[in-house]
Structure 1
């Protein structure tokens, strides 16, 4: 695993190098943030910067990341945006947690700082349409509808969600409920903050659910719920799912072992990586000491897009924001272009790949693609 950088990334001075072209980066590197996701996102960005600088940088200037840890705290992220803007970064990038990215996007928009959101999916990333914010990850509505289609295709009509009360989980529940109801499905909502794992199992039996979706954090309460369900003989045929992608990461496998396999999740990778993606996968594996997640590829693609824009527009913030509609970059997962999408207030990569994947119960270190959308 790559070592998180210090909060000031300038070479030995405590401040960024004034000769470089700087990008402000927001990533969760400490609890309660999903630190492993943040480390993968940052590893992808660092590899992207290394490749850009090996090819001559941006207009002859080295590209530099100025990194701030959000720890999944929206207020901390907003304060970091203020600090990064004052430091003179050309653009803002990153973040994994949707509620944090939303706070960062609002502040960046208010300051006139262009922001390329790497990995957060909440549809309402901004309250109002803006030209300053673009996003690589597919919106939650598209991804979670794809997941609901997978469930329906597998014959599931009575589906339960064990959810915590956050904007992100509530949005996901609403998307699933509406999509399933329109197709003859039923969604039962269980409050994961109020029910014990044993009570969740009892509710699943009472409601005759055939699938349980875990809209919760890890390790708690996800790990205790999974363990209880796996141990309950009444639920032997129940499918568990985690659309937000928890089983992608090593932390999940380490905590649950074989119990964590066979739990489908959303992953934003194509059937085949591009030639660039294949090369990047090798570099990421070396940096991370293991298989890179889709989040690491999102990090690399973020830098690839920003470097391309900076080469053509320079470090002028207004010109960078105006360039989003004209981006056409070959990334690790396909050609990246941004467009307006109905109901989405930011410039969106509309063709971001989506898969439903699980860890193979026969070989938990191997992923199986179950559905693509």
Structure 2
């Protein structure tokens, strides 16, 4: 038999356990999976952006009175591992929603998983058009601007160059293939006499930069479209600079103005390239200024584009859950149609017709300052201005997706 004091202790422990159980049940669990090991330059800052948003939302009382809990898994840049991680998040961690992925083929694998599991999935970063069009489905939305949108942002600069013979270099997987197909289509529409005289498709993360540069140079192009990023980009720029390939060659380039890639290029930054990116150091808007101060106060560092994507993903999920009034999958799917979210880039909206957000990007020219790459003469391009028409989307997106 237990003494009254022992009973009191036992009751206290039980009460604490019950309180913990209630707290766990009242927590909104966000399951996130990404390629942290293989893409640290982008995804380290991305994770910090997510964490900052979670901290701010919870400090303000959470969503519908419940705190957010972020549960993160690594997908090892492998579609099979990504699906297994997603399955674990659902079965073991009992998450309420899924978000994340970086590489396009990983994003497509999780998009398909969400379709079959009937689980809400916000694809935060992967750029392939297929996520919202050809392979789009009822349960998947996408935050970041697609390959189509980013290419469309660069087309005016490409047309203004007025060059006929174009070379193209890209990573040989879904993102690169998608970007190149769109570039060819849109540039041909704007400049029918254009020719594509050389293409180099490099295996992701394994570029033979010297050979690629030589093959492109042999074609004697008038201009170039680059889709390489991360270590492939750094190796390519170094090889091209050493061989004077870029001298006098106009270039339009996706992603190169993002700090995570400019940091690696440093003084080797190819001055004059027209790029999409994120000039965090020179954006003069109240919403970005507020975000920048909070991030620098919290991490004693400057944000990268990944930071914005991670931050906006959590803001979007919080806004969608609040609007839906719950984490019920179907309620979330409906809540995201036309959902508006205030972000450091201004207000964005998720289109009902294809589940794509209107988050935009900055377009500008690369320059050098104190041995570091920067963007100059930049402007923000609203994603809504570079999206295809509703009629085009209906042709590309299967009717069964909704």
TM-score computed with the length of structure 2 as normaliser: 0.78
Match of 2:356 among 338, 348, 352: 348
1:311-369 CA-to-partner distances (Å, cap 9, x unmatched) read 3421222211221114222222122222145xxxx4111x3223223442244243224
Query: SS at 1:180's partner residue?
Result: helix
Identify the residue that residue 310 of structure 2 maps to in structure 1: 299
**Equivalence map 1:281-296=2 (5 Å):** 281-296=292-307
Q: CA deviation at 1:252?
A: 4.5
Q: CA deviation at 1:169?
A: 1.0
Q: CA deviation at 1:235?
A: 4.5
- Indicate how the Cα distance of structure 1 residues 265 and 17 shifts in structure 2: closer, same or farther if over 3 A, else same: farther
Identify the residue that residue 12 of structure 2 maps to in structure 1: none
C-alpha distance in 2 between matches for 1:26 and 1:74: 11
Match of 1:209 among 215, 221, 243: 221
Matched positions, count? 349
Q: CA deviation at 1:23?
A: 0.7
Identify the residue that residue 5 of structure 1 maps to in structure 2: none
The range that moved more, 194-203 or 289-298, is 194-203
C-alpha distance in 2 between matches for 1:216 and 1:163: 5
Indicate whether 1:140 and 2:147 are aligned. Answer: yes
Q: CA deviation at 1:370?
A: 4.2
Q: CA deviation at 1:48?
A: 0.7
**Equivalence map 1:29-48=2 (5 Å):** 29-31=36-38, 34-48=39-53
Match of 1:164 among 161, 164, 171: 171
Query: SS at 1:361's partner residue?
Result: strand
Indicate whether 1:265 and 2:275 are aligned. Answer: yes
Query: SS at 2:131's partner residue?
Result: coil
Identify the residue that residue 4 of structure 1 maps to in structure 2: none
Indicate whether 1:314 and 2:326 are aligned. Answer: yes
Identify the residue that residue 72 of structure 2 maps to in structure 1: 67
1:143-172 CA-to-partner distances (Å, cap 9, x unmatched) read 112223222223333221123321221111
Q: Is the 8 A contact 2:257 2:277 kept in 1?
A: no
Query: SS at 1:120's partner residue?
Result: coil
Q: Is the 8 A contact 1:246 1:265 kept in 2?
A: yes
1:188-240 CA-to-partner distances (Å, cap 9, x unmatched) read 21243598434333333332213333333531x43332112112246421244
C-alpha distance in 1 between matches for 2:246 and 2:257: 20
Identify the residue that residue 101 of structure 1 maps to in structure 2: 107
Q: Is the 8 A contact 2:262 2:373 kept in 1?
A: no
C-alpha distance in 1 between matches for 2:105 and 2:207: 24
Identify the residue that residue 189 of structure 1 maps to in structure 2: 199
Match of 2:374 among 339, 362, 366: 366
**Equivalence map 1:177-256=2 (5 Å):** 177-182=184-189, 183=191, 184-187=193-196, 188-193=198-203, 196-219=208-231, 221-233=232-244, 235-243=246-254, 245-250=255-260, 252-254=262-264, 256=265
Larger radius of gyration: 2
Q: CA deviation at 1:111?
A: 0.9
Indicate whether 1:277 and 2:288 are aligned. Answer: yes
Indicate whether 1:90 and 2:101 are aligned. Answer: no
Match of 2:345 among 333, 339, 347: 333
- Indicate how the Cα distance of structure 1 residues 212 and 371 shifts in structure 2: closer, same or farther if over 3 A, else same: farther
Q: CA deviation at 1:18?
A: 4.0
C-alpha distance in 1 between matches for 2:35 and 2:296: 20
Q: CA deviation at 1:17?
A: 4.1
Q: Is the 8 A contact 1:273 1:334 kept in 2?
A: no
Q: CA deviation at 1:107?
A: 0.5
Structure 2: stretches of 5+ with no match in the other structure: 1-19, 382-402
TM-score computed with the length of structure 1 as normaliser: 0.83
Q: Is the 8 A contact 1:116 1:136 kept in 2?
A: yes
- Indicate how the Cα distance of structure 1 residues 78 and 234 shifts in structure 2: closer, same or farther if over 3 A, else same: closer
